[in-house]
Amino acid sequence: MTKHPLSSLVFASALFSALTPGGFAQDAVPGKGAHQVVLHADRLLQVETGRMLTPGEVLVVNDRIAEVGSSVSHPAGAEVVDLGNRTLLPGLIDSHTHLFLHPGAEDLQTVQESVPERTLIAVLAARADLMAGFTAERDMGTEGAGSADSAVRDAIDKNLFPGPRLRVSGNAVDIPGGHEDAIGFNPAQNVLPNATQANDTDELLGVIRRQFKEGADFIKIYETGRDSMRGGQFFTPYQFSEAQLAAAVQEAARVRKHIAVHARGEPGTLYAARAGVVSIDHADKLSPETMRLMREKQIFAVPTFTISEYFVEHASPDHAATERQILAMHAQEFRKQLAAGVPVAMGSDVGPFPHGTQAREFVLLVKYGMTPLAAIQAGTLHGAKLLGWEDEIGNLKPNYFADVVAVEGNPLDDITALQSVSFVMKGGTVYKRP
């Protein structure tokens, strides 16, 4: 495997930039008292209705939104940020990220890179995502780095590093020989898997309790895998029974938390829907019954098209045809889910492809069947609900956190505008401006 391109010198330089005023926010310094900012732009998107205010303004007081409209109060002494021919909208939310991964051989990253090195990579990844307009994310497993994501989340919350608001899962949960086991290595080397293993219900509950003890906000379980194509047909075995998943959901609910699953195909996705998980990520080959349950229970599908596209573009000649076939199937299945009324949250699976580029997911959601407004709602309103912050982020409303981004032009006319975020505010602090 090629080593990660960040040398020690680049690490030091990048971290220094993230910690110094040139790389960190200068506009709102904690502890200086009330800080009032008026954001003005030619347009403001009301994501609930799709109505576009022209012009649009947001009054921010400290870390919260105070007013939203075509014209808001301009208190004496308030800073006015005029963003011109841009559209204001809520900070973007990616519901499926991997801060501890980078492009390259995933299985070998945990072998060749120490947890401290991978944590430094995660800090830089968080900063890249924030600068791309993602003010909140759900990190779906550290891939062998244990509960290090809790430390990254807490450091961001303490303003030690710039990054999105995070919901973290710690190490994901798998079975021996499952999707994330170290399959293909010399067994005598005892190469560790990229997930924590559980064999039965008791072990599964024990893992969940330890993950919560170490700071996990939710639990990610690998419910299916590994995937394969056999005779042109998609095949993936389930890993945990419906009863085991139900016990996991019940245990998480005991402390008001949730279970999310990596799952494709039946019967694994049906088991997950019956058990009451909060999301089914990747979500291919869903039966009509699974889609019905997801609609009725409001279980989110998180499609992750960008990673599928990336695998197609970077596949070896021997695997390119299979990857294209999987992506085509994924797009076809997604259209069925939209027709069935399955709720969708935007999630990109960023990490195996470069952090800060995942707004491509919005473009693909539209390409494969969503309207631009629905795609934006998937990455704002729906993401906020999935992360359990529906009354605090994902919308531009009074008393919500002042998580605001701006893009040139109108994203309802051209969704690719979300790939070029030029202004980023999180919690009233400006991290990026034109």
Amino acid 5: pLDDT = 43
Q: Give backbone dihedrals phi and psi of 261, rounded to 5 degrees, phi first.
A: -125, 140
Q: What is the tens place of the pLDDT at every residue in 51-107? A: 999 999 999 999 999 999 999 999 999 999 999 999 999 999 999 999 999 998 877
pTM of the predicted model, to two decimals? 0.93
When pLDDT is averaged across residues 283-296 and rounded to a whole number, the result is 97
All CATH 2.30.40.10 domain ranges in the chain, comma separated: 36-91+395-432
Q: Average pLDDT of 12-23? A: 46
User: What is the CATH architecture assignment of 92-386?
Assistant: Alpha-Beta Barrel (3.20)
Span(s) in the chain for CATH 3.20.20.140: 92-386
> 163 vs 24, 67, 135, 166, 382, CA distance in Å?
10, 25, 7, 8, 20
What is the architecture of the domain spanning 36-91+395-432?
Answer: Roll (2.30)
Q: In angstroms, rounded to a whole number, what is the distance separating the alpha carbons of residues 16 and 106?
A: 27
Amino acid at 163: G
Judge whether residue 23 has pLDDT over 70: no
pLDDT tens for 156-199 read: 999 999 999 999 999 999 999 898 887 778 888 888 888 999 99
Per-residue pLDDT averaged across 388-393, rounded? 98
Query: Are 223 and 173 in contact, with CB atoms under 8 Å apart?
Result: no
Confidence grade of residue 228 (pLDDT, cut at 50, 70, 90) = confident
Residue type, 168: V
Amino acid, single-letter form, for residue 146: G
